[in-house]
Structure 1
Amino acid sequence: MNTSFITNIFATVILAIVLYFFLPILASDLPNQLSAAVGVLVGGLFVPALLKLFSSANSSSDNDGTSEVSTLYVGNLPYRADEEAVQEHFEQQGNVVSVRLMKDRRTGKRKGYGFVEMHPKGAAKAIKNLNDSTFQERTLKVRLAKEKIEEE
């Protein structure tokens, strides 16, 4: 399940409980069942909007105002290197979004290349500092990945 969906439900339930107890105090002639229904309705309408507002504000501050991601091709990787080791190596240059190391479908062994997604500033720094550098006794080739062309 999507974590934002669970967060929305949790926040809606909390708001319904709060309104269940406080609406009868504010409007003494309002039954508890109606105040609970109003709480669920208000929570269902306002909570997703508020969470979206807060999450967009947090995500823009986390990555310097850019939501773009650059994909780097990383070649000549050691076959023993795993995603975690590659991520740690590239995080010295900037924020790493994801690491995908390619494997042979038949054997499951790594092919010696992969892709690292980073924010553009970190990607530029990684290309500059890590291309032709040594990683686990291999000389890495780091460059911007070419866009995948989809065939129809």
Structure 2
Amino acid sequence: MRSKYGLIEVPISTKEQPKKMKSITIVGNNKSESLTIFESDFIFARAQQNYVDVYFNTETGMQQETFRSTLSNIMKQLPKAWQVHRSYLVNLDYLQTVEGNARKRFIRISLTDETIPISQVYYKALTKRLSNSSQELQN
């Protein structure tokens, strides 16, 4: 099925985007599930069956909120989220390193010791996005 969809493209952020603090509300399938955070405070999300754990930054450190939802539904609500694996979304602002070899790659994120796997399908799009970001910084 993956070959049916072709390459995965990761859009490049533009310099014209404002850097102000924008708040977002994440809503789950249950009525009582909602979380309002700043867009820049989102760190990563992990899907486990019918639930998604959203990790975000607060004044007291990293916190987690669980939603009954799909990863694709949460991704639509988080503009800074990049999918790096079938079960993970990541905010690239918190990216520290990309490590591993051709068979097994993973990401290290600041504020946590957890390693996040990168699927081979998403690796090409991620490296393209990161190389374009570094070229923009040099200009």
Is the TM value for this pair above 0.5? no
Which protein has the bigger helix share? 1
Tell me the TM-score normalised to structure 1 length: 0.21
Q: Structure 1 or 2: larger strand share?
A: 2
Using the size of structure 2 for normalisation, the TM-score is 0.22
Q: Which structure: larger Rg?
A: 1
